[in-house]
Structure 1
Amino acid sequence: MARFNRKGVTKIVFVETIADPGYMPTLAEITGGTDYTKQIAAVEGFSISNQEIETPDMDSTFVSKIPGDDSAEDSTLTFYEDDTTDTIETELAKGTTGFILIARKGKAASTKGLDVYPVRVASNSSTVTADNEAAKLTVRFSITDRPLTNATVPAT
């Protein structure tokens, strides 16, 4: 098993529309999206968690559990703010809908590890600080439906 660092490998793309109802994008849809990878300073969330249900019974002092509802973690992308353009502020304005595609192992065709999150932008706000650091902008996303996970990047 070869280990790798996500930085320099993982790609994050925003796509406005995906025709497939199961959220499997075509190569043309991926290519037509906006690749934000180079502008991203931090990623939080973009994962699914399960709210397990406790199922105790009178036969044991052990409390077993069964899977319950799934939900998406709070998800944000923190971008480096650009002092000459407002592309992120415009393209990812509050209320914008689309899909965040995370190609965990890169965008090479036929690579497993493509996650597709249907999203709506919940907020888009700059982080103002007097610290010695690059200006940043945080975009919070609401995940609006069950994501497609661990798909194969399309070859055609």
Structure 2
Amino acid sequence: MPATPMSPSTRFFNAAITRVVFVPEISDKFAPTRSELDAGVDVSADIAELTGWQVTSEQVQTPDLATRFTSSIPGRSTAEESSITFYADREGEDIRELLPRDTQGYVVIMDHGDQSGLPADVYPVRVASVGKMRSVGEEAARLEVQFSILSEPAENITLPASGGGEGN
């Protein structure tokens, strides 16, 4: 009997759906409340690029004398160096006001939009730096905010009720 095939995913394009919200306070990162999320700031419209924001695990080799094959087990987990590149405002009224260096809070990434019952990731963060990206090329002025991930992110938490429709 052949294996049961997995149902194909309904593919989507992240632009106009994914939401990134900076939330100053969350009492339980594994179960943020709707009021905590709504107290945050949706920064999605000014994002030029997201880098990192992925949890990876080291591999621990476990050789033994009984075989030449070296097996491995999952080791320590870590979050990659993570940053968000934002567009700068000509008048200076941009992400620098919300996220100056040393600001602590939570970056909540809602890949499927802000929809009740769908998954999101919650990263406890501190702003490490806000770098001005200067170029003489064909690019708009941008600011790169680098984040330190302070503790293990809460991955695939279920978004609480309320919010809105797709991408909200």
TM-score per shorter chain, which class?
A: over 0.9
Look up the match of 1:89.
96
Q: CA deviation at 1:32?
A: 1.3
What 5-or-longer segments of structure 1 have no aligned partner? none
Kindly report the root-mean-square deviation, in angstroms, between the aligned alpha carbons of the 2 structures: 1.2
Look up the match of 1:120.
126
What 5-or-longer segments of structure 2 have no aligned partner? 1-8, 163-168
Counterpart check, 1:27 vs 2:34: yes
What does the per-residue CA deviation read over 1:12-35, in whole Å, with 9 as the maximum and x for residues that have no partner? 000000122x44211111111110
Q: CA deviation at 1:109?
A: 1.5
Look up the match of 1:44.
51
Q: CA deviation at 1:90?
A: 2.2
Question: TM-score normalised to the size of structure 1?
Answer: 0.94
Q: CA deviation at 1:87?
A: 3.4
Question: TM-score normalised to the size of structure 2?
Answer: 0.88
Look up the match of 1:12.
20
What does the per-residue CA deviation read over 1:12-61, in whole Å, with 9 as the maximum and x for residues that have no partner? 000000122x4421111111111000100000111111111011111212
> 1:63-102, aligned counterparts within 5 Å?
63-102=70-109
The percent of aligned pairs where both chains have the same amino acid is 38
Look up the match of 1:57.
64
Q: CA deviation at 1:11?
A: 0.3
Tell me the distance in 2 between the aligned counterparts of 1:10 and 1:114.
10
